[in-house]
């Protein structure tokens, strides 16, 4: 406190440079210096510097707690960011594994489809060959049947031209007898 009074007195030293007697009430510099020292004394008596420093300390403590809270929030944000970055990497790895598995499954499905297509083509070729063979045998049978009809008709024409009615009746009776013998 003595240092404070000395400091204020030293600050008033320019007043000593004034002309005339400094320590008289007629000197306004002396009156202002006394009033200033009284004002400082009243401030010290009512402990205003302590109150002001207390308020400043509270303000400093508030700022410090705000800074501490900000640091804590920053650390928490960094932790959350790191967590999300790890999760992003895990998801990226998982997506890569899914893509690889899908590629393998697609390749396997393509191979199975190729095999199924080959089997289907083989079945269709076999069915077509069977139809060709069936059509061929049907055509051969039709040609044979037609040949038989034509041969019978030609034979009938030849026999009809060469044979007389009496010979025809004999042949008919021989055929009836032959059928009768075979049926009974």
Tell me if 166 is assigned to some domain.
yes
Residue-by-residue DSSP string for 18-48: SSS-SSSTT-HHHHHHHHHHHHHHHHHHTTH
Tell me if 168 is assigned to some domain.
yes
Q: Across the chain, what does the average pLDDT equal?
A: 85
CA–CA gap between residue 64 and residue 53 (Å, rounded): 16
**Predicted confidence band of residue 27 (pLDDT cuts 50, 70, 90):** confident
Tell me if 77 is assigned to some domain.
no
Its domain, for residue 172, covers 149-183
Tell me if 175 is assigned to some domain.
yes
Q: How large is the average pLDDT for residues 101-121?
A: 93
pTM for this structure? 0.40
Q: How large is the average pLDDT for residues 118-128?
A: 91
pLDDT of residue 124: 92
**Structural domains in the chain (count):** 1
């Amino acid at each position: 406190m003595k240092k404070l009074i000395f400091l204020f007195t030293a600050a008033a030293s320019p007043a000593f440079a004034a002309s005339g007697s400094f320590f008289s009430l007629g000197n306004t510099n002396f009156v202002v210096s006394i009033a200033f020292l009284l004002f400082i004394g009243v401030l010290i008596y009512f402990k205003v510097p302590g109150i002001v420093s207390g308020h400043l300390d509270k303000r400093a403590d508030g700022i410090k707690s705000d800074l501490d809270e900000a640091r804590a929030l920053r650390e928490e944000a960094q932790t959350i960011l790191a967590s999300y970055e790890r999760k992003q990497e895990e998801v990226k790895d998982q997506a890569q594994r899914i893509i690889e598995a899908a590629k393998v499954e697609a390749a396997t499905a393509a191979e199975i489809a190729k095999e199924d297509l080959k089997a289907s083509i083989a079945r269709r070729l076999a069915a077509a060959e069977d139809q060709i063979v069936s059509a061929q045998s049907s055509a051969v049978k039709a040609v044979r049947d037609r040949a038989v009809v034509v041969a019978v008709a030609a034979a009938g024409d030849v026999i009809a031209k060469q044979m007389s009615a009496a010979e025809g009746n004999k042949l008919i009776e021989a055929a009836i007898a032959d059928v009768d013998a075979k049926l009974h």
